[in-house]
Amino acid sequence: MKQFAIIVAGGTGKRMKNSLPKQFLSINNKIILMESIKAFYNYNSSINIIVALPENQIEYWKELCTKYDFNIKHSIVTGGRTRFHSVKNALSLIDSNSIVAIHDAVRPLVNYNTISESFRIAKEKKNAIPYIDLVDSVRFVDDKNNKPVDRDNYKLIQTPQTFYAKDIINAYKQTYNKNFTDDASVAESKGIKINLIKGNRENIKITNQVDLVIATALFNYLLE
């Protein structure tokens, strides 16, 4: 089956307190979005890569590709008003008889094993969603009280989230719901059973300045 990777890059830089969208920031002079694309290319140089970008960022991205001599082949699709709509737009470009991984552009530290296992399990079980275990204590909080809960019953979910294309395309035909926080929640709302796989802990989502510092340290550590 053909393999696709959709890289969703919809950041505006607000939480990063930077006028430059976070996917265009650099770690050791390496652009975050480029590193995310490269992770999938290094897994499979023949993979079909689609990048979803806000319309007003596309020309800047092309300028960056020229500046950094970035020539990994990829298609660009205009993003929508939410992540849901950006993914939906990108799905319109893929072959329904394929497997597609949907990945946050600001997770440049996803490793080969996570990507490889994601495609392997998705081919076998129709989808694969990576997670990592919680290490902190966890409490349930509502308007009246709070109480400890067993952290072993909760997981932190990552991307790439990988599916049979026809299943996730069909799931994205439904009307947007604010409870759709990721692709797994969209699929699950159509009755699709979700299969969890172990992710890699360093695969953090870079959304603020602290994340950027941590990602830089991790990047340097992994290069040693």
52-83 pLDDT tens trace: 999 999 999 999 999 999 999 999 999 999 99
Q: Which residue has the tokens 């290319």?
A: 41
If residue 159 lies in a helix (H) or strand (E), which one and from where to where? none
Residue among 64, 51, 168, 42 at smallest CA distance from 110: 42
CA dihedral 54, 77, 41, 22 (to 10 degrees): 0
Q: What is the pLDDT of residues 18-56, one digit of tens each?
A: 578 999 999 988 999 999 999 999 999 999 999 999 999
- ω before 130 within 30° of 0 (cis)? no
Q: What is the pLDDT of residue 45?
A: 97
Number of domains within the chain: 1
For the chain, the average pLDDT equals 94
Over 60: is that where the pLDDT of 15 sits? Answer: no
- pLDDT greater than 90 at residue 7: yes
Q: What is the CATH number of the domain that holds 146?
A: 3.90.550.10
Q: Can you tell me the mean pLDDT for 158-170?
A: 98
Q: Which of 128, 117, 113, 136 is nearest to 202 (CA)?
A: 113
Do 17 and 60 meet the contact criterion of CB atoms below 8 Å apart? Answer: no
| pTM of the shown model | 0.95
| Cβ atoms 84, 172 nearer than 8 A | yes
* pLDDT confidence of residue 213: 95
Taking the C-alpha atoms of residue 82 and residue 86, their distance in angstroms, rounded to an integer, is 6
At 13, the pLDDT band (50, 70, 90 cuts) reads very low
- Structural domain harbouring 118: 2-223
